[in-house]
Amino acid sequence: MVAGDTRITALRKGALEFCVLALLRDGERYGVELVRTLGEVDGLAISEGTLYPLLSRLRRDGLVETVWQESPTGPPRRYYALSDRGSDALTDFTIEWARFRDSVDTLLSTKESR
Amino acid sequence: MTRVTNADRVVTDYLNALRDELATAPLAVARDVIADVSEHIEAARADGDDDVRAILSRLGTPAEIAAAARESDPQPQPAAVVDGEFAMLAVLGVGAFVLPFLLPLVGAAMIGRSPWWTAREKRFAWASVLVPGACTVGGRLLEMQLGMNWVISWPSAIVLMLAPAVTAVVLLRLLSDRRRAMVSQ
């Protein structure tokens, strides 16, 4: 059971960065908003703060870009946007993920129906 | 008032704990994460979220965040890329004395494409070139029309050189503040 838990966690972690990229597909987002949205997704089971190391890596890897913008309520804020590289990575993952998911689903349901 | 002070202390304690926990994480990640989390808390509070404890509990424990930071595997990164930004500011500020109006105009256009400044700051850079430029040309035309002698265009021309330089200094300070926020803390 415990071993299964850590494997699920590893799966979540692998998919998480693409969830971040997917949220940016329709336009740039403010960091806090991005982190809140993901924190509320059922099944991802992450705390908001643990996303910042991920965002930091995505930024360094050039998959996202950050832009400073004015805020009506405080100091200027950093917004995240998808870079061209990030967009390509997301497209690739979307295709691979669909294949992976379908294959796993097929195997899981075969086993169940036995 | 007391509540604000308490909330501030809770936040300070949290950030200190996070800093301690991050001691063993890769340095570049640790710096980023502390800056990002501080910004997160500050922004959530600015947005009217008064319950600091709730903000922190949604963020997760410092230990959790640090564990995530240790797992992330940083690529060696080029030091924050701002070389271009210094050149832009030089073209704006110093350019005003070399080739007034034209070089600052190029500088403002370059600054307009940088992610390091906000839209308002970029408009400010444009205005520092265009407004004195328009005053100089418009003032000279008016003077010729009215037979006056340089009373508008001459001061405007001085502003045309000084305003971009002052703007460049302001933008430089903003840039270094933002870099520092990302690098240290």
Q: Identify the pLDDT of residue A111.
A: 59
Minimum distance, in Å, between the CA of residue A97 and any CA atom of chain B: 22
In chain A, what percentage of residues exceed pLDDT 90?
A: 47
Bridge-based pairing state of the strands A77-82 and A64-69:
antiparallel
At A85-100, the pLDDT tens digits run 999 999 999 999 999 9
E strand residue ranges, B21-150:
none
Q: Identify the pLDDT of residue B49.
A: 74
Q: Identify the pLDDT of residue A3.
A: 54
Q: Identify the pLDDT of residue A68.
A: 86
Instruction: Specify burial of residue B103 (Cβ count, 10 A radius: 0-12, 13-18, 19+).
Output: buried
* Higher pLDDT among residues A112 and A13, named by residue: A13
Spans of chain B, pLDDT less than 70: 1-4, 73-82, 181-185
CA torsion sign for B156, B157, B161, B164 is: positive
Mutate to test the interface with A, among B38, B42, B72, B122 (most CBs of A within 10 A): B72
Residue A80 has pLDDT above 80, yes or no: yes
Q: Given an 8 Å threshold on Cβ–Cβ distance, is B33 in contact with A48?
A: no
Nearest-CA residue of chain A relative to B15? A49
Q: Identify the pLDDT of residue B55.
A: 92
On whether the CB atoms of residues B74 and B63 are closer than 8 A, the answer is no
Q: Identify the pLDDT of residue B183.
A: 56
Q: Does A70 touch chain B (CB under 8 A)?
A: yes
Q: What is the DSSP letter of A83?
A: -
Q: Given an 8 Å threshold on Cβ–Cβ distance, is A48 in contact with B32?
A: no
Predicted ipTM?
0.80
**What do you get for the CA distance between the two ends of chain A, in Å?**
23
Q: Identify the pLDDT of residue B116.
A: 84
* Residue B71, C-beta contacts closer than 8 angstroms, at least 6 positions apart: A13, A53
Give the C-alpha separation, A62 to A59, whole Å: 5
Comparing CB atoms, the residue among B37, B47, B119 nearest residue A49 is B37
Q: What is the pLDDT confidence band of residue A23, given thresholds at 50, 70 and 90? A: very high
Give the C-alpha separation, A15 to B172, whole Å: 39
Could you give the count of Cα atoms lying within 13 Å of A97 in the half-sphere of its Cβ?
Answer: 15
Q: Given an 8 Å threshold on Cβ–Cβ distance, is A77 in contact with B48?
A: no
Mean pLDDT of A21-47: 88
Which among A45, A62, A30, A64 is positioned nearest to B40, based on CA atoms?
A30
Helix runs in chain A, H state only: 2-23, 31-39, 51-60, 84-113
On whether the CB atoms of residues B72 and A53 are closer than 8 A, the answer is yes
Residues 12-31 of A with CB under 8 A from B: 13, 30-31
Which among B38, B66, B32, B65 is positioned nearest to B52, based on CA atoms?
B38
Q: Does A72 touch chain B (CB under 8 A)?
A: no
